[in-house]
């Protein structure tokens, strides 16, 4: 018997031939009409408004200077620079990255110059790039998060704060992201310390990400980023040693996309808070999958290393795809996925 053709495709988003495109995002250098793109692609995540939903993820784009030869920054929805800590940090022993099947492991350990250097050396440049700048911060305790928020909140031009409560590569890096009470407290502390929109970046290394996302929402977060890297390990069996200097690392890249999608949808189904999807995104098909699963925006991470202009092309490709599909506003597709049991996103 022939299978019944499913006609109720949401907004006609299924590829016409039923095949998902595996074409990498950088094959299509098509320009997008910025004026059209802006109106079609604009998204709002509570107090944070973005020109389009494509951001570049913290730690994979440096402080942007190193990417200037490859990408037009003002096409991006926003830039999230490397995590800033109150004091400079040297990071973990080398080697700190290793390629894995469909991904990479890193154990950078929040190597950065500290908040003072960020403010004096990097911020002015970042704010000149014509896109939203979301500062990503990490503290050892609640007070450090709050003090950083107080200082960054006084700087005009920053669009939002992303709280890295999810770094698997430093001691106590995930304490706030694995304990609902602490997550709510740190978000509430930051929320009270500045007027900037607050995004909590969540770790997948928990039993229930929904519980932590709910705690972040209860603490007053404007949005959650889902997910940071998944803890993993690479082994050099001949030397009987881990490959990474720190032993364990965080897995990223296409290998983690299914986990990230699952977690985005679980949060979208249970918590009334905008979500930024992160994890293995490299094609416009990936972007659409995250949007329908409940993400209001996405971050491109590991893909920046092998295709530094890819995020810009994704913006144009998303605009073109929506136009082709007759979708006037990207918000029409966000959270439209229906699970087999009939449940869906709360938005």
Rounded to an integer, what distance in angstroms lies between the CA atom of residue 34 and that of residue 31?
A: 8
**How far from 61 is each of 52, 56, 82, 154, CA to CA, in Å?**
18, 7, 7, 24
Q: Take residue 67 and report the two structure tokens written for it.
A: 């990417």
**Residue 60 or residue 131: which is nearer to ligand FMN going by CB?**
60
Interface of this chain with ligand FMN, residues 47 to 86, rule: CB under 6 A? 57-60, 82-83
The smaller minimum CB distance to ligand FMN, of residues 40 and 295, is found at: 295
* Max Cα-Cα span within the chain: 69
Question: Are the beta carbons of 140 and 172 closer than 8 angstroms?
Answer: yes
Q: Is 201 in the site for ligand FMN (CB under 6 A)?
A: yes
* Burial tier of 212 (Cβ tally within 10 Å: 0-12, 13-18, 19+): buried
92 binds ligand FMN (CB under 6 A): no
User: β-strand 132-137 against 160-164: which pairing, if any?
Assistant: parallel
301 binds ligand FMN (CB under 6 A): yes
Tell whether residue 279 is a contact of ligand FMN (CB under 6 A).
yes
Binding residue for ligand FMN, selected from 134, 137, 182, 256, defined by CB under 6 A: 256
Listed residue (42, 45, 33, 125) closest to 79, CA to CA: 125
Q: Which residue stretch of 19-27, 29-37, 207-215, 275-283 sits at the interface with ligand FMN (rule: CB under 6 A)?
A: 275-283
Is residue 177 involved in binding ligand FMN (CB under 6 A)?
Answer: no
Question: Contact at 8 Å (CB) between 4 and 283?
Answer: no
Name the residue nearer to ligand FMN (CB basis): 40 or 110: 110
HSE on the CB side for 101, CA within 13 Å?
0
CB half-sphere exposure, 212, CA atoms < 13 A: 29
Beta carbon of residue 249, minimum distance to ligand FMN (angstroms, whole number): 9
Near ligand FMN by CB under 6 A: residue from 52, 92, 106, 132? 106
The span of 33-41, 100-108, 147-155, 338-346 binding ligand FMN (CB under 6 A) equals 100-108
Toward ligand FMN, which CB reaches closer, 40 or 187? 187
Question: Could you say whether residue 203 binds ligand FMN (CB under 6 A)?
Answer: no
Which position's Cβ is nearest ligand FMN?
Answer: 59
Q: Are 141 and 205 in contact (CB under 8 A)?
A: no
- 2-31 binders of ligand FMN (CB under 6 A): none
Instruction: Verify binding: residue 302, ligand FMN, rule CB under 6 A.
Output: yes
* Known active-site residue 25: no
Residues 113 and 89: their CA atoms lie apart, in Å, by 6
Residue 159, token pair as written in the block: 């669009």
- Of 131, 132, 164, 296, which lies in the binding site for ligand FMN, with binding defined by CB under 6 A? 164
Binding residues for ligand FMN, rule: CB under 6 A, are 57-60, 82-83, 97, 104, 106, 108, 110, 136, 164, 201, 228-229, 252-253, 256, 278-281, 300-302
Residues annotated as catalytic (active site), given as ranges: 167
């Amino acid at each position: 018997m022939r299978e019944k053709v499913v006609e109720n495709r949401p907004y006609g988003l299924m590829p016409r031939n039923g095949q998902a495109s595996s074409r990498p995002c950088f094959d299509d250098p098509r320009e997008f009409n910025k004026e059209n793109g802006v109106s079609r692609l604009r998204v709002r995540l509570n107090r944070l408004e973005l020109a389009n939903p494509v951001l570049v993820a913290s730690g994979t784009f440096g402080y942007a200077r190193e990417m200037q030869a490859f990408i037009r920054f003002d096409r991006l929805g926003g830039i999230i620079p490397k995590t800033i800590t109150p004091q400079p940090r040297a990071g973990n022993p080398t080697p700190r990255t290793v390629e894995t099947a469909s991904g990479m492991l890193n154990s950078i350990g929040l190597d950065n110059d500290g908040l003072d250097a960020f403010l004096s050396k990097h911020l002015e440049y970042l704010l000149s790039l014509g896109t939203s700048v979301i500062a990503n911060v990490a503290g050892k305790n609640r007070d450090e998060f709050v003090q950083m928020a107080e200082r960054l909140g006084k700087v005009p031009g920053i669009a939002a704060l992303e709280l890295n409560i999810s770094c698997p590569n430093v001691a106590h890096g995930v304490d706030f992201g694995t304990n609902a009470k602490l997550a709510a407290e740190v978000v509430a502390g930051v929320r009270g310390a500045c007027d900037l929109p607050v995004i909590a970046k969540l770790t997948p290394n928990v039993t229930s990400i929904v519980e932590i996302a709910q705690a972040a929402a209860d603490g007053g977060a404007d949005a959650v980023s889902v997910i940071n890297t998944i803890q993993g390990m690479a082994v050099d069996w001949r030397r009987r040693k881990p490959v990474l200097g720190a032993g364990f690392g965080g897995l990223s890249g296409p290998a983690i996309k299914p986990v990230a999608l699952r977690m985005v949808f679980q949060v979208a189904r249970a918590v009334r808070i905008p979500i930024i999807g992160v994890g293995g995104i490299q094609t416009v098909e990936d972007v659409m999958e995250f949007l329908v699963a409940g993400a209001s925006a996405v971050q491109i991470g590991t893909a920046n290393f092998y295709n530094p202009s890819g995020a810009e092309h994704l913006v144009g490709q998303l605009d073109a795809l929506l136009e082709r599909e007759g979708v006037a506003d990207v918000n029409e597709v966000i959270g439209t996925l229906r699970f087999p049991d009939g449940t869906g996103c709360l938005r």
